[in-house]
Structure formats: C-alpha cells, structure tokens
Chain A
C-alpha cells in the first residue's frame, strides 16, 4: 500500500496480537481488508496524519479479559435475559454489579429456559485495557469478546444445516477450536502449538475428537468440522480425522478457506495478499461483520455510562450543529435583506440625483398648475348668478311670486331652491312648463306644494321647487395640455 493512500470509513475493527501488532479491518469495495500495523503507536500516527479516517471503532476484547459463565434464565429473548443478568451477576462473580460490565450471547434453549453465555469483565480492568486505545485516539463504540467475533467469522463460512459444528483455525503458534450447537456459540479453546507440524496435527485432531465427543449427545448426530488456516497443518489434521472416523462417530470434515481477507502491511508498501488468516485477522474481520450488521448487540462490553455519555455528546453535537446552521440561516436571511435594502437605498440615491436638476428647472410648475386650477375654478361661471336670476325673472309667470332663492354649486353645476306662492295649485305646476323654453334654466321640479287658506277668505298655494342650471361655459383660456382641467 502506498503511503499516500487515504482510507475513510464509517466502521473499522481493531484486534491487537500478542506481539503488539495492531490489525485493523475495514470494508473494501469487494472484500474485507485487514491492515497490519507494527504497533498501536504506528496506528496512532496513521490516524493523526489522517491517512486512516474512521468514524466508529469496534475493538476485540481478548478472552483473558473476560470471565465466561453459562446461565439458564426464564427469558423469552436475549434482551429480556440481558436485563435479568444484572441481578444474577453477584451470584456469578464475587463482585458488586456496578463494578462489572457484562455481555451475553445465546447458547441454546431448553423449554422455557434460555441458555446464555455471559461475558463478565471488571470495569477497572476494561478501563485500563481501553486506556492504550485512548492514547492513540480510539474510543470504541463496540467491544466484543474475540471468541464471539471469531465465531461470527466462521458463521459466514458455515451456513449449512448442521446442528453441531467444530471450527478450527490453525495459526503459526496457536490453534483455536470453537464449538457450536444449533447455530449457537458454545465454547472456545486455544492450543499452543510446538514447532513440529506432525505432532501439532496429532494434538489438534485429538482435541477435535474430544470436543466432538463433548457436544455430540448421540453417536448418530453428525458433527461438521470446519478446518481453516495453515495448509501444512490442516491437511494432516484432516487425514487423521478421516482415519479415525470410526472412533469419532459421525464427523463431517470440511476444509474451507473462509471469506477472503486481504492483508496489507502498513508503511512499507507491501501487500501480503489473501488466503492466510491469523487469529487476529479473523477476529477483526468477524468483529467488523458484527459491527456493520449491528449483530449481537448484547455482547457489547462498552460501559453503559460511556454509551450514555456518547449519546449525550452526539445529541449535544447535533444540537450545536443545528443551532449553528439555524444561526447561519438567520444571518443569511438578514444579509439578503440587508443587501436588498442597500440596493434600494442606492436606487433611491440615483433617483434623487436625477430629480435634483429637474426640480430646479421644473420645480415651480406644479405650484403654478395648482394656482391655475384654483383660479380657473374661481373665475368659472362668472356672471352666471346674475344671468340666471334675470332669466328666472323673465320666465316666471305673473301668477307666481317668488319669496326665496337659495343658489348653491354642486360639483360645478348651479342648483337653485325656489320658494314661491301661486294663486292656484295648477298654476304652481305650470311653472315647470314655463321654464322649459329657457336657456339656462333646465329642469324644474316641484317638490312640495300646499294650499293655505287666507284670513280674509280664499287661499294661496305655497310651493317649493328645485331647478338645475345648464352647464358652465368653458373659459377657453386654459387647456388640458398644461394639465389644467375645469
């Protein structure tokens, strides 16, 4: 791998070998990739240089760290069992419940009882263990016992129908043997190998047969054995198992390569290629599969308080992000409005600049126009009252006498209210006929007429009439083109 390559991923798993090598497993495009670092410090440098950017870490807890206990609980599922375990912990280990952290996996079911494997670790021990990771800036979201992670890796290989299985991983110095019943993890064994492959193969085969006898309740039950790891070891093991088939009962031996894991040695640019699986590689690969798929949530050994703090921190960070974004949004809205206002101000300034010179020249026009209008109004209909009274005098029949006149202007037209007297009622109404031929007087309307008796006998008719006068004669001196209207 070249130094310049940058890996960015959501999940990464980490397993540390006994020799101090750190194996990081990340998901590649087509397969899992295991990156081998010489030490945690080298991994820390890669992280600080952001050559490796990981959002969430999963860490394998070594089996030496955990106490594994088997427990039968009257629980419907593992979640319920996990809640019950809190009360069972003091009976499992001589420690108060608050000083231990536990995880659990299903081992089987017997009627109403759920068999679970409980992985218990002391809180301070785990804290010390996590300390080395914290130094390099790793705060894991998941801590899973390595045997659970290894079992998960084997489960991807063996998805057959067999109820009982033995998984064997032969490494350079150690061999790991895991057993499973009804697809549930049962136990994990670790064997230290000596240098002689033949002797080691003999030992491994013997242990497999022993484990087979342990989990095989009846001779007719077939047990699937999955062998993987060093070819120079697993081939003799397979041969020995086949030669002892009669003694072992019904062993179904399978040799599998398992899922491909690509190995890279960080820093020197070499690539080991696929095929060979060390225990740490397998644990890291299984751990990544569990973490990405969010499987075995109850096997997580991360302290509850730590998780709560993490969630609180995430909530706070998200809240802060939302707050900052909201403030940014408000600022942007303010900035947009401010920019709009400034543009408007600029437009106003430009308009004012345009107005100033014109106003100097044409500023008095409006005033003059107003004066013209009002003078025009004052001078319109001049002589109208005198002419109207003269016409009224001429057109009024002799039998009618006028006792009162009220001349008003309504919307530029003259209106006259007339009070008068007539000898007879028809005479009063004949008045309207009399003004019909007049020039100025137009329609006359009797609005009230009543006959009133006189003191000396006889009677007189008093009436009220309303008369409209024709439209005013335009002066002609002003015209509309100057904006002056009557």
Chain B
C-alpha cells in the first residue's frame, strides 16, 4: 500500500506531538524529581559529614565558646540591641572633651547565627581625646571594632575632625 506524502507528514506530525506530549507529561516530571532528590541527597550527605566532623571537635568548640559567650550575648530585637550599642558608645565619648557632629545608625546586617550592628560617628575634638576614644573603643568589654577611621585637621592646631564606623556583633534574636 502506497502511503501518500500528506498522510506520511500528518502521521509523522501526530507521532511527534504524541512523543513530545508523552515526554513532557510522563518522563520529564520524573527527571525533574530525580534531579531534586539527587540534590537533596547530596545536601544531606554533606550535612551528615559536617555534623560528624562537628561531633569530633565539639568539646574544643564548647570550651572556646565559653570564653566568648558573654561577648556575643544578646537576645533582644535589633532596636533594643542598637540602643544598647549606642549607649555604650555614648558612655565612651561623653567622658571626653569631644563634640559629636553626627551619629548615624546603619542598617543591621543579619547573618545566619548573628547580627552585625553598625554606627557611624563624626566628632570634633582635641587629637588626644580622639585617640583616647579609639583606645576606649578598642579596649571595650563588648566586641566593638572600628571598621573605618578618618581624621582631618583644617588648621595647624591639635583640634581635629574624626569619623568612625564602629561595629558590634550580637547573637541572632531568639538564640
């Protein structure tokens, strides 16, 4: 039986459509699911390996953590923690003969297990007072850190303008 070209094309088209439909409806979802499950399995494997490694160093980490735990303690909200942080800074420079030009609260950076609070302070005062402030910040009981420090002297005097970006780390809320 001779099959006409039109019939052949029609049958081929229908077969192609059916094949694509079967692949899309039956095979591809399975392939997608397989891909997702493989990714999940690898994730679980790496998590298991990480936890097993953690188990080995747990005692050491616990001992070290006991030392730093008071430095990172803090369970309040971002606002509450920022309030504590600014109060600490105010306590530091209020005893010095400096004039604060501005105090700017920067957005809190939230990581998986901690929050990073940032405050930018601009002040004017004697160079010794500014240096004193630096010493106080660096010796503070909380884990404060000066990320950026700028100093400008406009005249040939010891009166200078200083700007600081100070950060503090606190534990994640609810920890």
Do chains A and B stick together as partners? yes
Contacts of B30 in A (CB 8 A): 334, 337-338, 341
Expressed in whole angstroms, the Cα–Cα distance for A347 and B34 within the complex equals 13
Question: Min CB distance, B172 to chain A, in Å?
Answer: 8
Contact B64 A378 (CB under 8 A): no
Expressed in whole angstroms, the Cα–Cα distance for A407 and B169 within the complex equals 21
Expressed in whole angstroms, the Cα–Cα distance for A94 and B116 within the complex equals 110
Contact A382 B139 (CB under 8 A): yes
Expressed in whole angstroms, the Cα–Cα distance for A262 and B96 within the complex equals 129
Q: Which of A397-420 contact B (CB under 8 A)?
A: 401-409
Contact B48 A368 (CB under 8 A): no
Given A312-B1, A355-B51, A482-B57, 7 other A-B residues pairs in contact with their CB atoms under 8 A: A334-B27, A337-B30, A359-B51, A368-B65, A371-B65, A378-B167, A386-B134
User: Which of A338, A348, A378 contacts B44 (CB under 8 A)?
Assistant: A348
Question: Min CB distance, B70 to chain A, in Å?
Answer: 10
User: In the complex, how many residues of chain A place their beta carbon closer than 8 angstroms to a beta carbon of chain B?
Assistant: 59
Contact B33 A341 (CB under 8 A): yes
Contacts of A375 in B (CB 8 A): 68, 71-72, 143, 169
Contacts of A363 in B (CB 8 A): 51
Residue in A closest to B72 when the chains form the complex, CB atoms: A371
Contacts of B175 in A (CB 8 A): 367
Residue in A closest to B171 when the chains form the complex, CB atoms: A371
Given contacts A404-B151, A406-B150, whether A355 and B57 have CB atoms under 8 Å apart is no
12 contacts between A and B (CB under 8 A): A330-B22, A330-B27, A334-B26, A351-B41, A358-B48, A371-B113, A371-B114, A379-B71, A405-B151, A407-B150, A483-B57, A484-B64
Contacts of A330 in B (CB 8 A): 22, 26-27
Contacts of A338 in B (CB 8 A): 30
Question: Min CB distance, A478 to chain B, in Å?
Answer: 6
Residue in A closest to B15 when the chains form the complex, CB atoms: A326
Contact A483 B61 (CB under 8 A): yes
Contacts of A344 in B (CB 8 A): 34, 37-38, 41
Residue in B closest to A370 when the chains form the complex, CB atoms: B113
Q: Is A333's beta carbon under 8 Å from chain B?
A: yes
Q: Which of A347-385 contact B (CB under 8 A)?
A: 347-348, 351-352, 354-355, 358-359, 361-363, 365-372, 374-375, 377-379, 382-385
B interface residues, Cβ below 8 angstroms from A: 1, 22, 26-27, 30-31, 33-34, 37-38, 40-41, 44-45, 47-48, 50-55, 57-58, 60-62, 64-65, 67-68, 71-72, 111-114, 116, 131, 134-135, 138-139, 143-154, 156, 167-169, 171, 175
Contacts of A45 in B (CB 8 A): none
Expressed in whole angstroms, the Cα–Cα distance for A365 and B144 within the complex equals 24
User: Which of A348, A377, A408 contacts B40 (CB under 8 A)?
Assistant: A348
Contact A404 B152 (CB under 8 A): yes
Task: Give the top 9 A-B pairs by smallest Cβ distance, nearest first.
Answer: A337-B30, A365-B54, A407-B149, A378-B143, A351-B44, A405-B151, A344-B37, A362-B54, A370-B113
Expressed in whole angstroms, the Cα–Cα distance for A384 and B112 within the complex equals 29
Contacts of B151 in A (CB 8 A): 404-406
Contact A405 B149 (CB under 8 A): yes
Given contacts A308-B1, A355-B51, whether A361 and B33 have CB atoms under 8 Å apart is no
Contacts of B58 in A (CB 8 A): 361-362, 365
Contact B51 A358 (CB under 8 A): yes
Q: Is A340's beta carbon under 8 Å from chain B?
A: yes
Expressed in whole angstroms, the Cα–Cα distance for A368 and B113 within the complex equals 8
Contact A368 B139 (CB under 8 A): no
Residue in A closest to B68 when the chains form the complex, CB atoms: A375
Question: Min CB distance, A381 to chain B, in Å?
Answer: 8
Given contacts A315-B1, A333-B27, A385-B134, whether A482 and B61 have CB atoms under 8 Å apart is yes
Residue in A closest to B142 when the chains form the complex, CB atoms: A378
Contact A389 B131 (CB under 8 A): yes
Expressed in whole angstroms, the Cα–Cα distance for A406 and B30 within the complex equals 59
Most chain B CB within 10 A, of A330, A354, A365, A409, is at A365
Contacts of B67 in A (CB 8 A): 477
Contact B45 A366 (CB under 8 A): no
Given contacts A337-B27, A341-B34, A368-B61, whether A351 and B171 have CB atoms under 8 Å apart is no
Expressed in whole angstroms, the Cα–Cα distance for A234 and B156 within the complex equals 151
Contact B138 A385 (CB under 8 A): yes
Contact A481 B57 (CB under 8 A): yes
Question: Min CB distance, B106 to chain A, in Å?
Answer: 16
Q: Is A311's beta carbon under 8 Å from chain B?
A: yes
Contacts of B116 in A (CB 8 A): 374
Contacts of A358 in B (CB 8 A): 48, 51-52, 55
Expressed in whole angstroms, the Cα–Cα distance for A370 and B54 within the complex equals 12
Residue in B closest to A384 when the chains form the complex, CB atoms: B138
Contact A362 B55 (CB under 8 A): yes
User: Which of A370, A383, A401, A404 contacts B156 (CB under 8 A)?
Assistant: A401
Expressed in whole angstroms, the Cα–Cα distance for A308 and B47 within the complex equals 68
Contact A409 B72 (CB under 8 A): no
